[in-house]
Amino acid sequence: MSDLEEKIAKWLNTNTFHHSEFWDLKELVRAKEKAGVSISLCIPTLNEENTIGKEIIVFKSELMDRYPLLDEIAVIDSGSTDRTLEIAASYGADTYLSADILPNHGFKPGKGENLWKAIYQLKGDIICYVDADIKNIHSKFASALVAPLIYRQEIQYVKAFYDRPLAVSNELRASGGGRVTEILVRPLFSVFFPELTALMQPLSGEYAVRREVLEALPFPIGYGVETSHLIDVYQAYGLQSFAQVDLDKRVHRNQSTASLGKMAFGILQSFLNRLKGYDLVTDMPEMNGIFRQLLAEGRRYEQRVLSIEEEERPPMITLPEYRERHGR
């Protein structure tokens, strides 16, 4: 076994958990109080009226009312045109429009924008992000992710992983999911950051992070945010700063291959920017943000040209407004 394989095997043994290890929520609350940390849950949204209500009910009833693990539950919205914000507020979540947070810095559409602005808006020492489209939502999607941060101070960043059956026409397909991870991100990590291949699902939308780590990270506003985070945290703290938790299964809506292509293009832009920023490659040409897809309908063929620019927000700690609000 090589040194790399031995290191990954050791990490998988010590820093990979199953959610059932953290079943005792009463003990977890006691440990949280002893550690003296506060925890915020952020749910980024855009037109999620079908699932947001159940998520708020589950998290609030179990992790605020029954067990006081979460100190706040907040929805950061990109401008939904459905009833997402109305439903979330009616069930007790704090609701914010991303465009209304740090208005002097403008608004950029994208999930990463919501995640970035949450650092300013929310109060917790630990911020847990959970996507809004989970159909089999359970309190473990938050409690099991914050647990390693509560119990082990050296851990900085905790990712979720799970089986991902795909919902297709109201039926569940037994396998699938993680396609962009397996055909893009894992090969790239294997070449440039092999230790990060230990992460089962680097693109999972559920993770918990310490504030002092989040506030120091630049944030791509689009698809590249998760990949960039992993690289930046790894470069700063190493593999031992990560943990991952098996949540068994996540049921969510499927995305088309065309949509996954756009996601992969955005991730690739952010990845190449990181290689350049860390001087891991030389003589890299300037990238353009034009993504080209081909469409065929009968005997008609057409090229779709899309502009996908992975803009980045600066580390939140660099903003005077943030330092003043949070006393940093």
Residue by residue, DSSP assigns 21-48 as GG--HHHHHHHHHHHT--EEEEEEESS-
The encoded tokens of residue 137 equal 């939502």
Let me know: does 37 contact 69? Beta carbons within 8 Å.
no
User: Could you tell me the mean pLDDT of each successive run of 10 residues in the chain, 328 residues long?
Assistant: 92 97 98 98 96 97 98 96 96 96 93 96 98 94 98 97 65 55 93 96 95 97 93 97 94 73 88 92 78 78 77 96 94
Q: DSSP string of 183-244? A: IIIHHHHHHH-GGGGG-S-TT-S-EEEEHHHHTTS-EESSTTHHHHHHHHHHHHH-GGGEEE
- Helix, strand, or coil (residue 292): strand
* pLDDT confidence of residue 177: 44
- Helix, strand, or coil (residue 272): helix
Tell me, rounded to whole angstroms, the distance of Cα 211 from its chain centroid. Answer: 14
Among candidate residues 107, 108, 106, 95, the one with its CA nearest the CA of residue 48: 95
Burial of residue 98, with CB atoms counted within 10 A of its CB: 0-12 exposed, 13-18 middle, 19 or more buried: buried
* pLDDT confidence of residue 241: 98
Greatest CA span in the chain, whole angstroms? 68
Sole residue written with tokens 């602005």: 117
* pLDDT confidence of residue 220: 93
* pLDDT confidence of residue 181: 87
* pLDDT confidence of residue 205: 92
Cβ neighbours of residue 264 under 8 Å, at least 6 residues apart? 180, 183, 184, 223
* pLDDT confidence of residue 253: 62
Which CATH class, in words, describes the domain spanning 3-256+314-326? alpha beta
